[in-house]
Amino acid sequence: MSILPIVLWPDARLKARCTTVAGEDMGTLPADMLETMYAAPGRGLAGPQVGALRRIFVMDAGWKSGTPTPRICIDPVVTPLGDETSTVEEGCLSIPERPVKVTRPARIRLDYTDETGAAQSVELEGAEATIAQHEADHLDGKLIIDGLEEAPA
């Protein structure tokens, strides 16, 4: 496994829409992304943040509190569940020291393929829902600073 360099804003790769993986062998990328995320230290990391313009992200909402729950999400699809929203201050490893308050659906269903090729479907809320949506946004070239009047300094 290797720690990968994290792509920083305003690199154009962060604004690119990623292509599907669709069963391709990802090699060590998923494991490298987890190692990079933990070393950063973050709770999520998407393909474009390490220069891989593929629809993959990794996340672990619990590791910082002592309950590791690593998840490798390939070709993820996020579906909001209900009308309830949550506003949380989010940070981003590609835009360090620039947290932004973001409003998102409070509950989601996350459908994805895991690292073994198995289809997965989970309902998430709280930090897990926020992280999954944040990382899925990266795959569509969306950043937490989009819509802000002033770009980060």
Catalytic annotation, residues:
135
Residues 6+ apart with CB under 8 A from 2: 28, 32, 35, 36
Tell me the pairing of strands 44-46 and 56-59: antiparallel
Which pair of structure tokens corresponds to residue 123? 């309902």
Tally of residues, the chain: 153
76: preceding bond cis by omega (within 30 degrees): no
